[in-house]
Structure 1
Amino acid sequence: MGAMMNPHDTSFKLAFIGAGNMASALAAGLIGKRCGGSDVLAIDIYPPALESWAQQGVQTTHEPGPALSKQRIWVFAVKPQVMKETVLACKPYLQEDTLVISVAAGIPATALADWLGEPGKPYQRVIRCMPNTPAFIGCGITGLMALEQVDESDKAIAQQLLKSVGEVVWVENDAAIDAVTAVSGSGPAYVFLFIEALIKAGIEQGLSPEQARQLSLATLHGATQLATLSPEEPSVLRERVTSKGGTTAAALTVFNEGGFTPLVQKAVNAAKVRAGELAAEFS
C-alpha cells in the first residue's frame, strides 16, 4: 500500500480537483490550520473559480498535470457527470500512496477504484464522502465510507479533513452513503421547505413577513439546539410542549391526520432511490 501517512504530520499536501463551493469550504477550514496555501493545488477548468484560491497562495491550474503526483491527498469535487473523465485524466499522476477522497454525489467508491486501477486490480485507497451545504459555515455533517483495504491512518486523515467543516459519521458501504445523501445531504432542503411553510403560515395569520421570518428561524434554531443538548429523545421533548386539548395538540393532530411522518419517510426514500439511479447512470 506504500508509505502510511501520519494524520498528525504538520501539514497535508492536498489537491482539490474541482474548485467549486464544497472544495472552497473544505479549504477554508484547512488552510492556515492544517496546511499552508502552498501545500494545496486547485484544479478547475473554469478560470474564475480559481481566483480566490490564487489569492490564498494556492497553486492553481486548469487541467491535471505532473504537479498532481506531488500531492498525497486528492479530493475529487466535480459534478458526477464529468467524474469519470476527470478521474481518468488524473490517473497518470497517481502514486501508490495517493489517498483519493471523493465528495462527488452518486459515484460509488467501487467505481472510483475501478477507474483508478487496472483490469482485475482496483485501486483500493479510496474514501467516499457526502457532506452537506451547512459545511459552508462550518456547521455541516458528512457521511464517510472507506474501501476495505484503507488503513486507519488514511481514515484519520479523511476524518480530519471533513471535520474542518462540521461533524462526521462513518458508515459501512456505498448503499449507506446513499441513505446519508437522502437524510443529511438533501436534508437541508427539507428544513428550508418547512421554514418557508412556517413563514407563510405566520403571514397568513396576520404577522408581518419580518416577524414571521424571525419567529420561524429562531424557533427552528432553538428547537434544534434543545434537541441536540437535551438527554431526552425528540419524542419526549415534543410531548412536553403538548398539553392535552391545547394549541400544540390541535396543530399536531392536523400534521398526523395529513400523514406527516409517512410523508417524510416517503420523501427520504425517493431521495435514496434517486441516489442509486445516479450511481448506475454515471458509473
Structure 2
Amino acid sequence: MDGLFHKGVVPASAGGGFGFQSRIWGLLLDRVVSEAVVVYNGTAVTVSADENPDLFWEMRVAGASLGVLTSFVFTAEPSPPQDLTFTYNWDFTASEASRALAAFQDFVQIDIPATLGGELVINKSPTSGNLAVQCFCIYFDDVATSNQTVAPFMDLFREPDSASVTEGDWITVCAEWATDALDTTTLDLPLYNTSYVKSILVPEEEVLSTSAMNAFIEYLATAGHDPDPGWRTVFLSTSLRIGLTGRQEVYYGKHYEKLTELKSTYESGDVFHVPHSVKLKA
C-alpha cells in the first residue's frame, strides 16, 4: 500500500491504508485476518472475526483508544504478472490546471478498469501564476492496453513537459514508488512549524463544481507569492478549544455509541488516548 512508504505498516493497517492497489484489493485494513493486542492491564489477547470479534471490530475502527498492537496476520494476493508505472509532468497556467482537474474528476467517474490506480498532484510552479501538475498512475495489467485506458484523460492535453515510464514485475514497479530514507540526524530544528494540513474528501455523489475548482486553482496559483507576513498569527490560542465539543461523535458517526460501550468493557482503565479518543460510556 502507498501508506507503507510514508508511515510504516502499523498505522496503515490499524486505520485504513489506501493506496494505488485499493481499487483492486480494498484497504490494507481489509486484508487483516487477526491481530495481537496488549490491553490496558497488560494482558495479551488475539483478536479476529472468530476470537474476541467485538474487540477485533473496535481495533479496526478506533484501535488507538483500546490497546497496543504488536502483530498482524494478513491475507495476501498473487502479484500481477505485468505492471507499469508512469509519471507525466506539466507546467500549466491556472486555466490549464483547472481544466486538468476537471478532466481528471470526469475521468475517474467513467468505467475505468480497477487495475488502474492513480492521482493528480498539483503544486506551485517556479513560474509565478503557474502550477506544476503531475499525473502519477500504476497499471496492474497488460501494458499493451495502458495507453487505451488512459487516453480519455491524456488526449485532452498537450505532450507532457517531462515523463517517466517503467515497465516490469511487481518489485520493479514498487521500487519506483520508494524514496530514500528520511535522515533527521543532522537537522537542527530550534523552531517548529505550527501550520496544519487539512485533507478534504469530496463525496463521489457531490463532485466539485466548476466554480469551486476554479477558486481552488486560483488560490494555489496566487497564494504565497509576495506574501505579507505581518498578517500571520503570532501567538497560539488555547481558549477556543473549550467550546469545541462532540468531536468524537462527528469523527466516528453512528458507530460512536457502540465504541463507548466496548471501550468501557475492554479498556475500563482509560489508559490510551489520542486527540479523537473514544471516551468511556457515561
**TM-score when scaled to structure 2?**
0.22
Higher relative contact order (CA 8 A, sep 6+): 2
- Higher helix content, 1 or 2: 1
